[in-house]
Amino acid sequence: MALLEVRDLRVAFNTPDGVLEAVRGLSFDVDRGSTLAIVGESGSGKSVATQTITGLTSGARVSGSARFDGTELIGASSEVLRTIRGARIGMIFQDPLSSLHPYYTVGWQIVEMIRAHDRSVSTSAARRRAADLLGVVGIPHARTRIDDYPHQFSGGMRQRVMIAMAMALDPVLLIADEPTTALDVTVQAQVLAVMRRLQEDFGTAIILITHDLGVVAEMSDEVVVMYAGSAMERAPRRTLFYANHHPYSEGLLGSLPAKGGTRDRLTPILGVPPSLIGLPAGCPFAPRCPYAFDRCWRETPPLRMVFDDPDHASACWLTPVLSEREALRAARVDREPDQPQESASATRVEVRP
Amino acid sequence: MARFLFRRLALGLLIMWLISLAVFALFFIAPNDVARTLAGRQATPETVALISARLGLDQPIWKQYLDFLGKAIHGDLGYDYYHQVPVTEIMAQALPITLSLVAGGAIIWLVMGVFNGVVSAIRPRSFVDRSLTAFALFFYSMPTFFLGLLLLYFLYYQLTVAGYPIFPPGGYAPLSDGFWPWLQHMILPWFTLALVSAATYTRLTRASMLEVLGEDYVRTARAKGIRESRVITRHALRSAMTPIVTQFGIDVGALVGGVVVTETVFSLPGLGKTSIDAINQQDLPVIIGIVLFASLAVVVANIVVDIFYAVLDPRVRLH
């Protein structure tokens, strides 16, 4: 049994313009000690999904199931969720400056977290633990810096503080929501290294939410590619990078600069993501898909096994046979050497019921 | 921190000096000739000149100003025109009354405003939120004198007629007469003052809390598994208090100089009522004394607010 099993998660918000379906039937598993990367562009529902699982979204209509270590989280009481949050599921967020309270010292904030879950720990013991944690995540002079305020740390150091806090109670699952997006590249690598080391030492499972495929390549075991609130493709990391099935995954990788400059130009995905209010039937990616055909506009493709690989699933009507899919890809590359041709797809995005 | 304090104090002194200049100008802008008024209708020019000389009015203006400033700094604000009582003595009698009124009223409106604001912010646009907003706006739109008269009519007049004389019709009982009489005299004025001001604080707290509740660090606090009540108080309200404290300091500072309308309605002989009487009688030294004191209160309140700011927000301490 996986540590976290999410099945058909749906999250909708009432807005003045109608019902916004932020997450539309998302399913995934996270195994103990492994890293699942959830990839997608802004607004694809990645953060909403994980925050809903931990009970941090308010005012949403939620259905589906999320079993965490045998406990159903969807619909659980706020007290149950509260005791799980922090103690068993640690969380870190994108912007470490705004995510730490500006009025309290980092030590206070870590101590508060430890004591919120176990009153029997004395403040001085919690402080010692906080200082140790800051040392573990690589903050120099941790014993004195524990009394500093967040604004006295650099961006990378702040994210280390966040990681130290999230790991304070040795959680079995760490949800990292774009942990390196706000950091510059050299600091990114350091922060990722800290996370990886902690994972090895404590056997923590990680859900890594990101839109950075470089981070995915470096950290993940398995990848879920999200688009418009649902999973487009689920695959082990190598499979996703070298034998992806879904045209959206293909598009994401195509918009990355290739090592050694084998591509002259980047291939962007044309168009913009669809509005999540009153989404029409059919594949949500169809309007931007260079492969789209009749069926894509009529029926929503389910996530199904492709390439005869039980670990690989794709929500796409294209052929599930590896050689045929590769032939399609090759034909497209021939047709569009480095830039997709002007197609009707870009304007079709505007069509709404 | 020491430099910050020093700068604020220096700025405060500068402001007080400018105010002393402006206040001094009142002597000359005032339409009547003080010496002649004091001397009376029948006085000979010699008498007027004598009085003028005694008051120092025959000196050059700059000398008169230095004289005035020097005395004011030493706490000598002169004598009132009519009874030759030292102005400081008049103010010393009125001040405790105004302070009783402001302190009690401020505590009530702060507690009421912040509590209602927090409750509103926790469930925005809910029935509770809308009711509290309606409640706040109802009293906010009511002129102070009207609210005061309403409270007097129902809680003094009607209750007394019905045989429950709990509240007096006005006036003041000093604390030395006992706590209960003092409280009886103060409750209606307190609520008159507080109900009108609470609305501002309800709206301010609500807006401030709503903003802070959307902050990333509040999400972090929830992600840490902190109890919601603690998230609201220790994390959200702590940050939301900054604008409230600022407003509170300025309001209290401004009111200490006299709560004119409330004091008049309840015939409380505080600084507000004293200044109204002084203005009616053209009693310049008293007016000037109260104006100086009121501005000092505002300046001091602002410095206290700034210090409090630094205490509340560690980021301010560094600058």
How many CB pairs below 8 Å do chains A and B form together?
A: 70
Give how far the C-alpha of residue A106 lies from the chain's centroid of Cα atoms, to the nearest Å: 26
Q: What is the pLDDT of residue A348?
A: 41
Contacts of A54 in chain B (CB under 8 A): 223
Residue A201 Cα, gap to closest chain B Cα (Å)? 22
The CATH code of the domain at B87-317 is: 1.10.3720.10
**What is the 3-state secondary structure of chain A?**
CCCEEEEEEEEEEEECCEEEEEEEEEEEEECCCCEEEEECCCCCCHHHHHHHHCCCCCCEEEEEEEEECCEECCCCCHHHHHHHECCCEEEECCCHHHHCCCCCCHHHHHHHHHHHHCCCCCHHHHHHHHHHHHHHCCCCCHHHHCCCCHHHCCHHHHHHHHHHHHCCCCCCEEEEECCCCCCCHHHHHHHHHHHHHHHHHHCCEEEEEECCHHHHHHHCCEEEEEECCEEEEEEEHHHHHHCCCCHHHHHHHHCCCCHHHCCCCCCCCCCCCCCCECCCCCCCCHHHCCCCCHHHHHCCCCCEECCCCCCCEECCCCCCCHHHHHHHHHHHHHHCCCCCCCCCHHHHCCCCC
Q: Does A85 sit within 8 Å of B224, measured CB to CB?
A: yes
**Which residue of B211, B217, B238 to mutate against A (max A Cβ within 10 Å)?**
B217
At a CB cut-off of 8 Å and minimum separation 6, what does A220 contact?
Answer: A35, A36, A37, A208, A237
* Dihedral, CA of residue B303, residue B304, residue B308 and residue B310, to nearest 10: 30
B319: DSSP letter = -
Q: What percent of chain A stands above pLDDT 90?
A: 76
Q: Check CB contact of A77 with chain B, cutoff 8 Å.
A: no
User: What pLDDT digit, counting tens, does each position of A331-346 carry?
Assistant: 887 776 555 444 444 4
pTM above 0.90, yes or no: no
Q: Check CB contact of A115 with chain B, cutoff 8 Å.
A: no
Domain with CATH 1.10.3720.10 in chain B: 87-317
Q: What is the pLDDT of residue A351?
A: 40
Residue B316 Cα, gap to closest chain A Cα (Å)? 10
Contacts of B237 in chain A (CB under 8 A): none
Q: Does B226 sit within 8 Å of A86, measured CB to CB?
A: yes
> Which residues of B have a CB under 8 Å from any CB of A?
215-217, 219-228, 230, 234-235, 238-239, 312-315
Contacts of A95 in chain B (CB under 8 A): 216
Contacts of A113 in chain B (CB under 8 A): 224-226
CA dist., res. A5 & res. A25, Å (int): 13
Q: What is the pLDDT of residue A101?
A: 95
Q: Check CB contact of A165 with chain B, cutoff 8 Å.
A: yes
Contacts of A93 in chain B (CB under 8 A): 216, 219-220, 223
Q: Does B216 sit within 8 Å of A93, measured CB to CB?
A: yes
The answer on pLDDT for A261 being more than 60 is no
User: What pLDDT digit, counting tens, does each position of A88-129 carry?
Assistant: 999 999 888 899 999 999 999 999 999 999 999 999 999 999
| Chain A residue closest in CA terms to B316 | A103
At residue A286 the predicted structure's pLDDT band, cuts being 50, 70 and 90, is: very high
Is A107 within 8 Å of A139 (Cβ atoms)? no
Contacts of B223 in chain A (CB under 8 A): 54, 56, 85-86, 91, 93
At a CB cut-off of 8 Å and minimum separation 6, what does A144 contact?
Answer: none
Nearest to A85 among B217, B222, B314 (CB): B222
Low-confidence ranges of chain B (pLDDT < 70): 28-34, 318-319
Q: What is the pLDDT of residue A347?
A: 42
Q: What is the pLDDT of residue B257?
A: 85
Q: What is the pLDDT of residue A341?
A: 47
CA dist., res. A211 & res. A227, Å (int): 11
Contacts of A151 in chain B (CB under 8 A): 314-315
Nearest to A86 among B225, B230, B313 (CB): B225
Q: Does A103 sit within 8 Å of B313, measured CB to CB?
A: yes
Q: What is the pLDDT of residue B311?
A: 84
Mean pLDDT of A219-236: 95
Burial B288-303 (b: 16+ CB within 10 A, else e): bbbbbbbbbbbbebbb
ipTM of the complex: 0.87
Q: Check CB contact of A87 with chain B, cutoff 8 Å.
A: yes
